[in-house]
Amino acid sequence: MSANIPQIIGKDKLNREVKDLSSVNWWGMDRKEISWYPTINYDKCMSCGICFITCGHRVFDWDTDNDLPIVAHPYNCMVACQTCANLCPCGAIEFPEPREIKRMIAKAKVVKKAFDIMEPLKGKSSLSENETQTKPEI
Ligand code: SF4
Ligand code: SF4
Protein backbone atom coordinates (compact mmCIF):
# COMPACT_ATOMS: atom_id res chain seq x y z
CA MET A 1 0.00 0.00 0.00
CA SER A 2 1.30 3.46 -0.87
CA ALA A 3 2.94 5.39 1.97
CA ASN A 4 1.31 8.56 0.64
CA ILE A 5 -2.29 7.43 0.98
CA PRO A 6 -3.42 8.36 4.51
CA GLN A 7 -5.01 5.48 6.34
CA ILE A 8 -7.93 5.81 8.73
CA ILE A 9 -6.62 5.05 12.21
CA GLY A 10 -9.69 5.59 14.34
CA LYS A 11 -12.04 8.19 15.67
CA ASP A 12 -11.63 11.05 18.10
CA LYS A 13 -13.71 11.86 21.16
CA LEU A 14 -16.24 13.70 18.98
CA ASN A 15 -16.56 10.51 16.92
CA ARG A 16 -14.82 12.08 13.92
CA GLU A 17 -12.67 9.98 11.63
CA VAL A 18 -8.91 10.32 12.14
CA LYS A 19 -6.39 9.66 9.36
CA ASP A 20 -2.65 9.20 9.72
CA LEU A 21 -1.46 12.21 7.73
CA SER A 22 2.13 11.67 8.84
CA SER A 23 2.51 9.32 5.89
CA VAL A 24 2.06 12.19 3.43
CA ASN A 25 5.37 13.68 2.33
CA TRP A 26 5.94 17.42 2.55
CA TRP A 27 7.53 18.60 -0.69
CA GLY A 28 9.31 15.25 -0.93
CA MET A 29 10.42 15.20 2.70
CA ASP A 30 9.32 12.64 5.23
CA ARG A 31 6.78 14.51 7.38
CA LYS A 32 8.23 12.93 10.51
CA GLU A 33 11.56 14.65 9.84
CA ILE A 34 9.86 18.01 10.34
CA SER A 35 9.27 18.98 13.95
CA TRP A 36 6.33 21.30 13.30
CA TYR A 37 3.38 20.73 15.58
CA PRO A 38 1.64 22.49 18.46
CA THR A 39 2.61 22.33 22.10
CA ILE A 40 -0.02 23.13 24.73
CA ASN A 41 0.91 25.20 27.75
CA TYR A 42 -1.48 23.72 30.30
CA ASP A 43 -0.78 26.54 32.74
CA LYS A 44 -2.60 28.85 30.30
CA CYS A 45 -5.23 26.51 28.80
CA MET A 46 -8.82 27.07 29.98
CA SER A 47 -10.24 23.94 28.30
CA CYS A 48 -12.48 25.76 25.83
CA GLY A 49 -11.97 23.08 23.16
CA ILE A 50 -11.58 25.48 20.23
CA CYS A 51 -8.30 23.89 19.11
CA PHE A 52 -9.75 20.39 19.28
CA ILE A 53 -12.97 21.33 17.50
CA THR A 54 -11.47 23.39 14.68
CA CYS A 55 -8.34 21.51 13.60
CA GLY A 56 -9.42 19.63 10.49
CA HIS A 57 -6.26 17.54 10.56
CA ARG A 58 -7.30 15.89 13.84
CA VAL A 59 -4.03 16.78 15.54
CA PHE A 60 -5.87 17.16 18.82
CA ASP A 61 -7.99 14.81 20.83
CA TRP A 62 -9.66 15.37 24.17
CA ASP A 63 -8.60 13.98 27.54
CA THR A 64 -11.98 13.42 29.18
CA ASP A 65 -10.41 12.48 32.52
CA ASN A 66 -8.70 15.84 32.87
CA ASP A 67 -10.98 17.86 30.58
CA LEU A 68 -8.08 19.06 28.46
CA PRO A 69 -6.94 18.93 24.84
CA ILE A 70 -4.03 16.68 23.95
CA VAL A 71 -1.76 16.69 20.92
CA ALA A 72 -2.63 13.18 19.87
CA HIS A 73 -1.28 13.17 16.31
CA PRO A 74 1.48 15.79 16.08
CA TYR A 75 2.65 14.86 12.59
CA ASN A 76 -0.85 15.34 11.23
CA CYS A 77 -0.23 19.06 11.66
CA MET A 78 0.00 21.02 8.42
CA VAL A 79 3.53 22.38 8.15
CA ALA A 80 3.55 26.16 8.74
CA CYS A 81 -0.10 26.29 9.86
CA GLN A 82 -0.72 28.11 13.15
CA THR A 83 -4.50 28.42 13.03
CA CYS A 84 -5.08 26.82 16.40
CA ALA A 85 -2.56 29.16 18.04
CA ASN A 86 -4.28 32.13 16.42
CA LEU A 87 -7.70 30.97 17.64
CA CYS A 88 -6.70 30.02 21.17
CA PRO A 89 -8.11 32.72 23.49
CA CYS A 90 -5.39 32.11 26.08
CA GLY A 91 -2.23 32.04 24.02
CA ALA A 92 -1.74 28.50 25.26
CA ILE A 93 -0.56 26.96 21.98
CA GLU A 94 3.03 27.33 20.90
CA PHE A 95 4.98 26.45 17.77
CA PRO A 96 8.65 26.35 16.84
CA GLU A 97 10.26 29.56 15.59
CA PRO A 98 9.38 30.50 11.96
CA ARG A 99 13.10 30.08 11.24
CA GLU A 100 12.51 26.32 11.43
CA ILE A 101 10.10 26.56 8.51
CA LYS A 102 12.55 28.66 6.51
CA ARG A 103 15.15 25.99 7.14
CA MET A 104 12.79 23.29 5.86
CA ILE A 105 11.83 25.34 2.79
CA ALA A 106 15.50 25.56 1.92
CA LYS A 107 16.22 21.90 2.65
CA ALA A 108 13.29 20.63 0.57
CA LYS A 109 13.99 23.14 -2.24
CA VAL A 110 10.36 24.21 -2.07
CA VAL A 111 10.74 27.45 -4.02
CA LYS A 112 12.45 25.74 -6.95
CA LYS A 113 9.80 23.01 -6.98
CA ALA A 114 7.02 25.60 -6.87
CA PHE A 115 8.48 27.46 -9.83
CA ASP A 116 8.70 24.18 -11.74
CA ILE A 117 5.03 23.40 -11.02
CA MET A 118 3.92 26.90 -11.97
CA GLU A 119 6.01 27.10 -15.14
CA PRO A 120 3.27 25.83 -17.52
CA LEU A 121 0.87 28.48 -16.21
CA LYS A 122 3.35 31.31 -16.47
CA GLY A 123 4.75 30.41 -19.87
CA LYS A 124 8.33 31.13 -18.95
CA SER A 125 11.27 29.19 -17.66
CA SER A 126 11.64 28.51 -13.99
CA LEU A 127 14.43 30.18 -12.12
CA SER A 128 17.74 28.50 -11.55
CA GLU A 129 18.22 26.58 -8.34
CA ASN A 130 20.57 29.29 -7.11
CA GLU A 131 17.97 31.99 -7.74
CA THR A 132 15.32 30.17 -5.74
CA GLN A 133 17.31 29.47 -2.63
CA THR A 134 15.55 30.41 0.57
CA LYS A 135 17.84 30.83 3.50
CA PRO A 136 16.84 30.70 7.14
CA GLU A 137 16.79 34.06 8.87
CA ILE A 138 19.68 34.47 11.26
S1 SF4 B 1 -7.95 26.67 22.30
FE2 SF4 B 1 -6.40 27.13 23.87
S3 SF4 B 1 -7.55 27.43 25.77
FE4 SF4 B 1 -8.92 26.39 24.31
S5 SF4 B 1 -8.63 24.21 24.77
FE6 SF4 B 1 -7.20 24.72 23.13
S7 SF4 B 1 -5.28 25.22 24.18
FE8 SF4 B 1 -6.90 25.28 25.71
S1 SF4 C 1 -1.53 24.39 13.16
FE2 SF4 C 1 -3.30 23.96 11.88
S3 SF4 C 1 -3.09 21.81 11.29
FE4 SF4 C 1 -1.68 22.16 13.00
S5 SF4 C 1 -2.79 21.58 14.81
FE6 SF4 C 1 -3.15 23.77 14.56
S7 SF4 C 1 -5.00 24.00 13.32
FE8 SF4 C 1 -4.30 21.85 13.18
Rounded Cα distance, 104 and 37, in Å = 14
2 and 52 belong to one structural domain: yes
| 25/27 Cα distance (integer angstroms) | 6
Residue 83 sits in the same domain as residue 123: no
Distance of CA 67 to the CA centre of its chain: 24
Q: Are residues 52 and 120 in the same domain?
A: no
For residues 113 and 104, give the distance between their C-alpha atoms in angstroms, rounded to a whole number.
Answer: 13
Q: How many residues does the chain have?
A: 138
| Separation of CA 98 and ligand 1 centre (Å) | 21
Whole-number Å distance, alpha carbon 82 to ligand 2 midpoint, is 6
Same domain, 87 and 105: no
Which H or E run includes 8? strand 8-11
State which H helix or E strand residue 69 sits in: strand 68-71
Q: Are 113 and 129 in contact (CB under 8 A)?
A: no
Question: What's the whole-model pTM score?
Answer: 0.87
Q: Do 1 and 66 lie in a common domain?
A: yes
What is the three-class DSSP state of 101? helix
In this structure, the answer to whether residues 39 and 88 fall within a common structural domain is yes
Q: What pLDDT was estimated at residue 1?
A: 42
Domain housing 23: 1-96
Atom of ligand 2 nearest to the CA of 56: 8
pLDDT in tens, the chain (138 residues): 445 789 999 999 999 999 999 999 999 999 999 999 999 999 999 999 999 999 999 999 999 999 999 999 999 999 999 999 999 999 999 999 989 899 999 999 999 999 999 999 987 655 666 666 666 554
